[in-house]
Amino acid sequence: MSTVADDVQARELRHVLQTYRRQPVTFVRGDGVRLFDVEGREYLDLLSGIGVASLGHAHPGLAKAIADQARTLLHTSNLFFHPLQGQVAERLATLSGLPRAFFCNSGTEAVEACLKFARRYWHTRGEPRAEFIALEGSFHGRTFGALPFEPLVPGVRFVPSNDPAALLAAVSRKTAAIILEGIQGEGGVRPLTPAFAAAVNEASVKSGALVISDEIQCGLGRTGHAFYYSALGIKPHLVSLGKALGGGVPIGAALISEEVASTISFGDHGSTYGGNLLACRAALLFLTELVDGGLLAHIGRMGRFFDTRLKALAGKHSIVKEVRGAGLIWGLELTCDAAPVVPAALARRVIVNRTAETVVRLLPPLVITEAEAEEALGRLDAALADVSAGHSAGGTHA
């Protein structure tokens, strides 16, 4: 007998390009940190659509703002002014200390904009530097230009993460910019060390290289800090943002220092949708919740809660070798491939994800409460026990 879920999956198999290996679940509704599948089963979401549903699912304030904006005006293009783009840019400037913003529609586009602006900066200064330095294990997007893709855009050099000497040796007067994530998200939730952060600043001062901080995953409150570069003491000239900013409405942004911004001219870059009224309305609502709604302080408290609870889980399950993270971004490094944990967790009705082969990654909605986290981590505890039992029995979990 065919179910609705079977129909959904069969139609996709026929007509959607098969670039995603999806879990066999069809979600139709959400409420805060809970998701409901087509059969009405409830799940606790510790992933928030990879760090996007920052305010949880079906947030009433966000839903109202979007609906109100849809009834008023959605899009006019960047040929005209509208009242919201400047407001979002102003809020981001206050939060980051970088005075200007360029809006786009995704994280990858924000990275692309930063790379392009860095090249433009050096071109305008009559010293066309073309080399970028990126860190091994980093992830900055999936277009041809965003790193680290093979074949790479020429002029990209990779240095090992957290190796100050390697960075200082690699940087030169040919380096346009150093690009980094304060916490490598896709790379397995790996924070940069303070010593490496100091080397980034030193390398930048020594060579003049710009610093691009990719805060798409670890920024906008995710770690309990507005931006993780400030926790590390890194001084970026460019910052890329995405994910959490729209709470689910696609929006990306590049934040730019005045020094770099002054080298950019009309027509140097653009986007048809970038920073339209719908996206900006969502971003304003998110930033208001983050700063005025007390969300940042909440994430700090929840970070301490997760730290304690996850370390207790590690103490209990010998397959968990290390716990890394801050605020509401966490990685459990396993002694084995983390792939079986994802379906085991799904069977226990909790959503997590596997990254960098051996890491179970948690990126819950920023609004998650202690009671919800307790319940979700209880389910994860059971899933880890299931996987451990499978291992000791020599079984496999598909």
Phi first, then psi, for residue 218 (nearest 5°) are -95, -5
* Residue 103 host element (H or E): strand 100-104
Q: How many CA atoms lie within 13 A of 341 on its CB side?
A: 29
Q: Does 106 bind ligand PLP (CB under 6 A)?
A: yes
d(CA 46, CA 56): 10
- Shortest spacing between CB 3 and ligand PLP, in angstroms: 31
Q: Does 328 bind ligand PLP (CB under 6 A)?
A: no
Q: Does 112 bind ligand PLP (CB under 6 A)?
A: no
- Kindly write out the interface string for residues 62-101 of this chain, putting x where it contacts ligand PLP by CB under 6 A and - elsewhere: ----------------------------------------
What does R_g of the chain's alpha carbons equal in angstroms? 21
Distance of CA 268 to the CA centre of its chain: 26
Contact range with ligand PLP by CB under 6 A, out of 10-18, 214-222, 278-286, 329-337: 214-222
Q: How many CA atoms lie within 13 A of 387 on its CB side?
A: 27
102 is written with which tokens? 């360029």
Q: Does 181 bind ligand PLP (CB under 6 A)?
A: yes
Q: Does 185 bind ligand PLP (CB under 6 A)?
A: yes
Cross-sheet strand order for the sheet of 359-362: 320-326, 329-334, 359-362, 353-355
Choosing from 107, 224, 274, 275, the residue that interacts with ligand PLP (CB under 6 A) is 107
Contact range with ligand PLP by CB under 6 A, out of 164-172, 212-220, 353-361, 375-383: 212-220
149 is written with which tokens? 């893709």
Binders of ligand PLP among 261-300, rule CB under 6 A? Answer: none
Q: Does 103 bind ligand PLP (CB under 6 A)?
A: no
Binders of ligand PLP among 234-253, rule CB under 6 A? Answer: 242
Indicate the burial class of 47 (C-beta count within 10 angstroms; 0-12, 13-18, 19 or more). Answer: buried
- Shortest spacing between CB 34 and ligand PLP, in angstroms: 23
**Number of residues forming the site for ligand PLP (CB under 6 A):** 15
Residues of this chain that interact with ligand PLP (CB under 6 A) are: 50, 106-108, 111, 139-141, 181, 185-186, 214, 216-217, 242
